[in-house]
Chains A and B, each alone.
Chain A
Amino acid sequence: MTTLETAPANTRTSFASRYHTFMSRHGSLMPTFAAVAILLVIFAGAQIKFGNFITPGNISALLLDNAALLIMAVGMTFVIITAGIDLSVGSVMAFTGIWLAQMLQSGVNAAFAIPIMLVGGALVGLLIGLLVQYFDVQPFIASLAGLFLARGLAYIVSTRSIRVEDPTVLWLQSARIHIGQFYITPTGILALLVVAVGAFVMQFTRFGRTIYAIGGNEQSARLMGLNIARTKIAVYVISGFCAALSGLVLTAYSGAGYPRNGIGWELDAIAAVVIGGTLLMGGRGYVLGSMVGVLVFGTIQTVISFMGAEQSWTRIIVGLLLLLFIVVQRAIVARAERRR
């Protein structure tokens, strides 16, 4: 009797132990899996309802329409994993975008104008990073200052929108590389490249692991002899640089620079990062997760325009999703604390 019972019990425990091993190694991936599941559910639901939702054109447009937000979200992921926040990115995107348009209008070659505006974005990030690290200003406050600064600079450059006629910049948007029935633009490739580099740096470099360490416990990381100051400043520089890059992509996308661009985008980026499974308290999260978060965001937008409903519904639904994810995160953290 006992021998009969032990045999199946053994296979069960081995499954349980394999599950245990997986959870002890990759427990922090669960929120990201949840985001993937939600994305799939939305896709499936929309396909069933509209019948023509999952088409190559639609999928390709998803990346094209969200390339700027995606790049911004990658930079934001770096910052949030150190348990920081960067509210300046929307303004930085607008400032660098309008600056680019203005430089191009006054005859500066794109080969100069683009690097200049990228450095400009990185400098705003550097300023925030220095404030956070050496003046001990809360990231929220420091980046809020960055938000006002960059928005003000955008208005100083121009109060009205400036059209872009530079062929290089327009090419970024208009060129289509076809893969079967799918297509991708240079902006899309740029966004995917940023995701790939970001994920690589986070996962496989010492710099990336230091970012996670800071988010886990900054004090411990310091006593472990990690270079905290350099890393913390660097994440804000990266975020500012990514914001400027998204300024370039958005300028190409809309064919113009406009100083009122990107109002509230910083919050969209934060929402996408959180939905993608990054903990706002820092220490846990994935760049690829943020990409999933952006795709969820973009897909909800597409579904709503398919339904012909008011676009404000996007915000409501994203808001609800965000709430759900934050509650789930809290539950995960609380569980981890209980286990101590």
Chain B
Amino acid sequence: MLVVPGPGLDNGHVDQALPLLELTGATVLFGADAAIDNVDFRMFPGEVHSLMGENGAGKSTLIKAITGVLPLNAGTLTLAGEPMHLHSPIDALHAGISTVYQEIELLPNLTVAENISLGREPRRLGMIDSKAMRRQAHAVLSELGLHIDPASLLASHSVAVQQLVAIARAISADLRVLVLDEPTSSLDVDEVAELFRVIRELKQRGVAILFVSHFLDQVYEICDRVTVLRDGKLVGEYLTRELLRIDLVHKMLGHKEAELKERHRTTTSDTDEQPLLSARDVTIVPGIRDASVDLFEGSVLGVAGLLGAGRTELARAITGIDRLHAGVLLIGDKEQHFSNPRKALAKGIAYSSENRRTEGIVAELSVLENIALAVQADRGIWRRMKPARQRELAASWVEALGIRPADLDRPAGTLSGGNQQKVLLARLLALAPRLLVLDEPTRGIDIGAKVEIQNLVGELSENGLSVVFISAELEEVLRVSDRVAVLRDGRIVETLPSADMTVDSVLALVARPNQDEARA
């Protein structure tokens, strides 16, 4: 598809209002590579603007450029017509640009009120006026519909509440531009609605809001305007109401084929074929009770359920990460006792954790070292792989999985989320496992990378690998899997071929009230 760079609006639609914030010809270099290259970007007062693009498109870099974290190597930033030179986040804050970051938390060891006002505490005679501070915090929090004790420690609240506190911190400044980087990833439906109410209120006040999210529905619900980036370059700026979703996805992915390859489903797994691994009544308290599953060669088992239903616990139970309190794992007819992940790996059972950063990637090590890690561990320290062999192995996986940038010596932590996930997959696949358990492999990564990973899962299973695919997104589970196990409150309620299921039917299973409760 041919894409014309530059703003995609015709002049007839341009609002009379001048942009509040405008980037012109913005370029940020990482070494010799341009993370964003000659990008124009503007935000209007009272508008919600979305920044869309795949991982590695330059969204985070652009955000960092307008919030003073990264300096511009070329181009200009103007705020209400005034040229700005932001050298630090505090400069941006003083200019009225506030940011809520996706992964950077607040400070759990301080109180809610302190987290909100840190760096601009009300003072009297040089002392922090804690009463005024609490009062201000209380006012902002009730504006957000959050009724918590401002004097309580942040650590005593749930992640969702902490997220709202972060937003409270951002809006309590003299706010002109608010940047929300994936603000909804840890919120449930009600909390998202609450957040949107606040966003609309801020719109009324003339604040320019940048809303970055992977959830297309949310983008379409709340955003007026969308700017699309690809590979560090501007694709265009559009009004959301004039841009069809399918067009948006095409613009984000560019020439690449976004559609999922139709794959042949092995629906007949319930024949007398011998399962690769069977779990019988496995129980780990608390988390999972009496769960039984059969995993077949060349077949994908999807696991669906709400957060806390026992998805991860099931994965950890069958991969030997956690010890079973009851039940057995069978390979063939033989009972298995995996006292640690290493023993499970020896049987060809590999687990990829949902916590990519903490339990997966070693951010400081290079892509090469990350991929070679598991193979080397498997060989033991006395049989060291030759560096050339390691490089060959890593390079072949980088190519096979399309890891970008294809630079083996780059620290893995500098890759985008989707590419980190692929590095993890490469590490496990290098072990030639027979069963691969993927816990939320597509969480927090872009639609393009998501599709690639989904396709990859399909290819792997066609090559005879047994895959367990866990995801919070039901569409994805249904699309990728041959069979789906639906979890509720730590129990498997049903295991059905995915061809017989729809999102609605899974939702009905997930949400069905417990029969005991229903009777009582």
Residues of A within 8 A of B (CB): 21, 23-25, 27-28, 204-206, 209-210, 212-213, 215-217, 219-227, 283-284, 336, 339-340
Contacts and interface: CB of A to CB of B under 8 A. Distances in A.
Interface in B100-145: 101, 104-111, 114, 118-119, 121, 123, 126-128, 130
Contacts of B69: 223
A24 B108 CA distance: 11
Interface string B133-167: 00000000000000001011101100100000000
A205 B152 contact: no
A225 B121 contact: no
9 contacts: A24-B156, A206-B128, A209-B114, A209-B128, A216-B108, A221-B118, A225-B88, A226-B119, A339-B156
Which of A206, A210, A215 is packed against the most chain B CB atoms within 10 Å? A206
Q: Which one of A21, A209, A212, A219 has the greatest number of beta carbons of chain B within 10 Å?
A: A209
A336 B110 contact: no
Contacts of A25: 111, 149, 151-153
Nearest to A336: B155
A220 B152 contact: no
B107, B119, B121, B156: which has the most chain A beta carbons within 10 Å?
B107
B126 A205 contact: yes
A282 to B, nearest CB: 8
Given A209-B114, A209-B128, A283-B108, 9 more contacts: A25-B111, A25-B151, A25-B153, A206-B128, A209-B118, A223-B101, A224-B106, A224-B119, A283-B109
Contacts of B153: 24-25, 27-28
A23 B151 CA distance: 11
B110 A224 contact: no
A213 B109 CA distance: 8
Contacts, number: 87
Contact of A222 (B89, B93, B110): B89
B91 to A, nearest CB: 8
B187 interface: no
B365 interface: no
Contacts of A204: 127-128, 130
A304 B152 CA distance: 41
Which of B92, B106, B109, B111 has the most chain A CB atoms closer than 10 A to its own CB? B109
A140 B92 CA distance: 34
Interface hub of B69, B92, B101, B119 (most chain A Cβ within 10 A): B119
Top 4 closest pairs, chain A to chain B, by CB = A225-B90, A216-B107, A283-B109, A24-B152
Max chain A C-beta neighbours (<10 A), residue from B101, B108, B121: B108
B99 interface: yes
Contacts of B159: 340
A244 to B, nearest CB: 25
Contacts of A222: 89
A339 B104 CA distance: 18
Contacts of A213: 107, 110, 118
Interface of B: 69, 88-90, 92-93, 99, 101, 104-111, 114, 118-119, 121, 123, 126-128, 130, 149, 151-153, 155-156, 159, 169
Contacts of A336: 108, 155
A47 to B, nearest CB: 37
Contacts of B119: 206, 210, 224-226
Nearest to B129: A204
A212 B155 CA distance: 14
Nearest to B111: A25
A217 B88 contact: no
Nearest to A335: B155
B109 A284 contact: yes
A226 B126 contact: no
A23 to B, nearest CB: 7
A283 B106 CA distance: 12
B134 to A, nearest CB: 11
B312 to A, nearest CB: 14
Contacts of B89: 222-225
B211 to A, nearest CB: 19
Contacts of A221: 107, 118
Nearest to A213: B107
Contacts of A216: 107-110
Given A25-B149, A25-B152, A225-B89, A205 B107 contact: no
A228 to B, nearest CB: 10
B9 to A, nearest CB: 33
Contacts of B155: 27, 336, 339
B128 A220 contact: no
Contacts of A226: 90, 118-119
Contacts of A23: 156
Contacts of A283: 107-109
A25 B151 CA distance: 6
A204 B152 CA distance: 17
Contacts of A209: 110, 114, 118, 121, 128
A97 B152 CA distance: 44
Contact of B93 (A210, A225, A227): A225
B109 A21 contact: no
A23 B157 CA distance: 12
Q: Which of A206, A219, A223, A226 has the most CB of B within 10 A?
A: A223
A223 B99 contact: yes
Nearest to B156: A24
B126 A224 contact: no
A223 to B, nearest CB: 5
A217 to B, nearest CB: 6
Given A206-B128, A213-B110, A284-B109, A27 B156 contact: yes
